[in-house]
Structure 1
């Protein structure tokens, strides 16, 4: 589409175009979620990225993609997506704050972990039960994975 054609679009046409892009991005998110459940993290990352080609301001797509990176133990890549969500899209996003806390914990950054948890609690007081559940699950998963690693090394 030429530059002048883009300028000539009415507000209503822009809204319709955004709804169409959002629908396509949602389809990519659903496909990515299906691949994630099958532990096909690379394919899920590709699908979430394709969704981001249509809607660049979707915290859900960035957070979902970051979770795939965390599962692949690519924590720095996960932090890039999570920091983008927190700095550009939604500074109070509880999932971004908690996934960032988890990634930092796995990178042995205890101070960063504590700061993210504190921010999650501060900005999302109504979700304290979810935050506690997430932290308990993370501790359990972390202990399981460290136990498995220890057994493998024995």
Structure 2
């Protein structure tokens, strides 16, 4: 009788995925463990695949309420592939369940650097901010651990597949957000001709804004940025259009780009604060407004918005 063939790591992983789909989380965790053991025993190195296995097993532990093990596995996954959205979100959820709100806040904020469109991370930030205000008062930010700065190369979009919504069987699109927005890489130095072409397009956009035709203005500003993305005013102008059209996430992105170019850009801070308020990320909105008030303490519009956001957080 021929010996029974041993399963490969990918087969154990697939078995884990199937068990997870059917709500058999303990069994799925066991299958992922077998796959992890194969990598450990063989000495083979496949960081991405190993990170997925740890993250998938962490999802099982989280479902079963084994939060300490979930945190360990998420940390292992992130050691292999830094700034993975799923292990960050799962670790944040486990920290939150254990009432370790500061660490959960840091993970949720890190996720938003990777993909600002994730509502789960926005909701998590707001929950943690409220919990920390209740716990530590108005000085809660001073007690936070350092929030890591996510490199631009890691600011990528992950999309869930319908088949395995909660496990890492999806693929990562390695497209930086800056390139997704249709503008040039930051290091690209425009020629004099490109600068002049960008300026003309920006002025056309300004004319459309005066006519309140914001969509046409956005097109002009976007075209301008293809020629010169070193002009912070183009980003803040386009952000104003996005605000007018209630496209708040896009407005936040543009204001963030403007602040990378000009760290004291008043319009960028104010417009981003407005957009964050509409996105219900009140803690981040207040942070922007506080920085603005340090620069312009007598700005009544900023003072009023600050008070409005504070009321919404209560």
Query: TM-score over 0.5 for the alignment?
Result: yes
Q: Tell me if 1:76 matches 2:249.
A: yes
Summarize the alignment of residues 62-73 of structure 1 with structure 2, pairs less than 5 Å apart. Answer: 62-73=235-246
* Long gaps (5+) in structure 1: 1-14, 143-154
Q: Deviations for 1:58-99, whole angstroms, at most 9, x for unmatched residues?
A: 11111111111111001011111111222x312221110000
2:160 equivalent in structure 1: none
Aligned counterparts of 2:251 and 2:205: Cα–Cα separation in 1: 16
Q: SS of the counterpart of 2:221?
A: helix
Distance verdict in 2 for CA 1:27–1:90, change over 3 Å: same
Gaps of 5+ in 2: 1-188, 309-314
Return the match for 2:201 from 28, 50, 53: 28
Structure 1 residue aligned with 2:182 = none
Residue of structure 2 equivalent to 1:107: 279
CA–CA separation in structure 2 for the residues paired with 1:54 and 1:119? 31
Is the partner of 1:30 in helix, strand or coil? Answer: helix
- Indicate the residue corresponding to 2:225 in structure 1: 52
TM-score, normalised with respect to structure 2:
0.35
Number of positions where the alignment pairs a residue of Structure 1 with one of Structure 2: 119
The residue number in structure 2 matching 1:132 is: 300
Which structure has the larger Rg over C-alpha atoms?
2
Q: Partners in 2 of 1:135 and 1:71 — Cα distance?
A: 21
SS in structure 1 opposite 2:192? Answer: helix
1:145 aligned partner: none
1:42 pairs with one of 215, 221, 225: 215
The answer as to whether partners of 2:289 and 2:302 remain within 8 angstroms in 1 is: no
Partner Cα separation in structure 2 for residue 132 and residue 116 of structure 1:
15
Aligned partner of 2:69 in structure 1 is none
C-alpha RMSD of the superposition: 2.4
Q: CA deviation at 1:132?
A: 2.5
How far does residue 109 in structure 1 lie from its aligned partner after superposition? 2.5
Distance 1:28 1:133 in 2: 30
Greater RCO (Cα-Cα under 8 Å, separation 6 or more): 1
